[in-house]
Homo-oligomer: A and B are copies of this chain.
């Protein structure tokens, strides 16, 4: 059985799916191996440990968000509205997709509790998420408001994502994203920034 059965990327993808569905600690290396059509020992060819595998998974998700989601925030060829819309459309698709799904919100936090190295990576992800959203808001709002709005948007999204999982109902996340988008659009019309300030 020498023929290459898998590659690193496949293992990462399969791990991601399992971690999302079952949580990090309920996914054994044997589960992952089985999902890849391997014996458990074979995983250690690709990753020196389960922790190391998880770190690569987190980093992969992070990179994926950077290029497929956060990137829209920095695309100056788009209007701020379009940037936010495209960003959230992309995020929604990933979050609600069985395959890719949200790792950071649930599994990330769960495991970050116990493994400081995971926590660090999860923090990086959220910091980048904040930054992307804030960059869009900065087109219309001063620094402090952009900051607050970004923090708030990301918090709302992560909270509603959790509800979508717990209640097994996508509409929590979908409604939240709609709401956040409206918030930006409306500000175009009213021009009444002050009113928005603390809202």
Interface residues of A (CB under 8 A from B): 21-23, 25-26, 105-110, 112-114, 119, 122-123, 126, 148, 151-152, 154-160, 162-163, 165-167, 172, 175-176, 179, 182-183, 186, 190, 195-196, 198-199
Chain B residue at minimum C-beta to C-beta distance from A118: B166
In the complex, chain B residues whose CB is within 8 Å of the CB of A158: 158-159, 162-163
What residue in chain B is nearest A164 (Cβ atoms)?
B155
Interface of A (DSSP majority class): helix
**Which chain B residues border A109 with CB–CB below 8 Å?**
106, 110, 162, 165-166
Known: A126-B167, A148-B179; 11 extra A-B contacts, CB below 8 A, are A22-B113, A23-B114, A106-B110, A110-B110, A112-B166, A119-B166, A152-B156, A154-B159, A159-B159, A186-B199, A199-B199
Asked if A176 and B163 make an inter-chain contact with CB atoms under 8 angstroms apart, the answer reads no
Q: Which of B110, B157, B175 contacts A151 (CB 8 A)?
A: B175
Q: Judging by beta carbons under 8 Å apart, are B25 and A26 in contact? A: yes
Task: List, in ascending order, chain B residues with CB within 8 A of A160's CB.
Answer: 151, 155, 159
22 sample A-B contacts, Cβ–Cβ < 8 Å, listed by A number: A21-B113, A22-B113, A26-B114, A105-B162, A106-B109, A107-B110, A110-B110, A112-B166, A119-B166, A123-B167, A155-B156, A155-B162, A157-B159, A158-B158, A158-B159, A158-B163, A159-B159, A182-B198, A182-B199, A186-B199, A195-B195, A199-B199
Instruction: Give the complex CA separation of A179 and B166 in angstroms.
Output: 25
Which residue of chain B is the closest to A112 with respect to CB atoms? B166
CB distance from A136 to the nearest CB of B (A): 17
Q: How many Å lie between the Cα of A159 and that of B176 in the bound state? A: 12
Residues of B within 8 A of A176 (CB): 152, 155
